[in-house]
Amino acid sequence: MSGIDDLPALRDVIARHELAAKKSLGQNFLLDLNLTARIARLAGDLTGADVLEIGPGPGGLTRGLLASGARRVLAIEKDPRCLPALAEIAAAYPGRLQVIAGDALAIDPLQYLQTPIKVAANLPYNVGTELLVRWLTPQDWPPFWHSLTLMFQREVAERIVAQPGGKAYGRLALLAQWRADAQIMMNLPPEVFSPPPKVHSAVVHLTALPAPRFPADPGVLNMVVAAAFNQRRKMLRSALKSVSPVIEDHLNAVGIKPTERAEQVGLEAFCALARSIAAAR
């Protein structure tokens, strides 16, 4: 038995189901159930909440979430090899775990969940950033989720919480801090994973704000910051010329020098620029 429930140790589950992690699916499994339970607790009080988990693999974090009192967990898993192991967890927690086989990028989880909803996941490396951007840029706000507790490569986590002026500051920082409070809660070394990745990892906790810090259309803001930081060494009048043929006029109108570079511009100014561009369409 493991330290958090009556199910077998995770290493035994992986061996019995022959669940060698696949690099093509961005898999790196956490083997220490005490550690997965600790990550689950970083999501806050889970009693009375539904939890969305992406890429549960053999179910280490899933078990942590259930042991921590989550009302229900919806786990979306792309790898069919993991489904038997997840079915064993569902049997041990009757009515509290629903597993959906498929691609998280193609599944609408809202038809399966009831508010309040929290997201907690050791995100597969190959889809983590795309999912985060989707969760941060819906047209309507507040979003379906109350909080996100997500594991990323540490470099990605540092980009989420970065401030203007540094190398890590960019699109993820702007989108995350526009509509949420973001904080790195835990760092994890490679050796706690199977197989050990070549990079360190970190858990980021984001809490949705009731309203964005500054008004802006999410689609326009995402487009502007993506273009700006795609060519971050260029002056903004050059980096953003594909966004608007009169981009220099928009920059001047909101008080941004056209010769500035993206990393020099703060969130409020980018939101003002997005509003100016949207108003001219």
Instruction: Please give the pLDDT value at position 2.
Output: 65
Angle at 98 between CA 180 and CA 90, to 5 degrees: 120
Q: How far apart are CA 22 and CA 28, in angstroms?
A: 8
Cα dihedral: 241, 244, 250, 254 (round 10)? -80
Among the listed residues 152, 149, 175, 151, the one whose alpha carbon sits nearest the alpha carbon of residue 162 = 175
Instruction: Please give the pLDDT value at position 21.
Output: 80
Q: How far apart are CA 76 and CA 238, in angstroms?
A: 41
Among the listed residues 81, 115, 118, the one whose alpha carbon sits nearest the alpha carbon of residue 101 = 81
Among the listed residues 132, 127, 126, the one whose alpha carbon sits nearest the alpha carbon of residue 180 = 132
Q: How far is CA 104 from CA 52, 75, 78, 101, 109, in A?
A: 10, 9, 8, 9, 8
CB contact burial 97-107 (16+ within 10 A = b; e otherwise):
bebeeeebeeb
Q: How far apart are CA 44 and CA 181, in angstroms?
A: 14
Hey, what are 69's tokens? 């009192």
Residues in the chain, total:
281
Low-confidence ranges of the chain (pLDDT < 70): 1-2
Q: How far is CA 243 from CA 39, 77, 247, 250, in A?
A: 40, 37, 7, 11
Helix (H) or strand (E) holding 50: strand 50-54
Q: How far apart are CA 258 and CA 247, in angstroms?
A: 9
Q: The tokens 């980009």 sit on which residue?
A: 159
Q: How far is CA 33 from CA 6, 49, 167, in A?
A: 12, 21, 35
Note if the bond before 142 is cis, omega within 30 degrees.
yes
Residues β-bridged to residue 119: 52, 148
Hey, what are 70's tokens? 């989550």
Contact predicate 3/11, CB 8 Å: no
Helix (H) or strand (E) holding 230: helix 218-230
CB-based contacts of 221: which residues, under 8 Å, 6+ apart?
Answer: 137, 174, 175, 178, 270, 271, 274
